[in-house]
């Protein structure tokens, strides 16, 4: 769901008619990928940190 400048809530079909639906899907996908990468990086850093403490 998107709230456009007129204040009304528009759902996916409306957005695709306006040509924004695809961009929104890509945006969500990219956000998901970035958050997953951040989680992976945090796990790796945590592992390195644990190994460092053991040594």
Where exactly are the structural domains of the chain? 2-54
> Is the whole model's pTM more than 0.85, yes or no?
no
- The tokens of 24 are what? 């929104």
Distance separating alpha carbons of residues 22 and 36, to the nearest angstrom: 21
User: Residue for token digits 């951040």?
Assistant: 38
- Check residue 22 and give its pLDDT: 64
- The tokens of 9 are what? 């809530």
Q: State the average pLDDT for the chain.
A: 73
Distance separating alpha carbons of residues 40 and 49, to the nearest angstrom: 14
Segment 29-52, tens digit of pLDDT = 889 999 999 999 999 999 988 887
Contact status, residue 2 vs residue 24, Cβ threshold 8 Å: yes
């Amino acid at each position: 769901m998107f709230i456009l400048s007129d204040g009304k809530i528009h759902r996916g079909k409306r957005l695709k008619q306006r040509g924004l639906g695809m961009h929104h899907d890509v945006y969500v996908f990219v956000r998901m990928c970035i958050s997953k990468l951040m989680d992976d990086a945090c796990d790796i850093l945590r592992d390195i940190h644990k190994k460092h403490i053991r040594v």
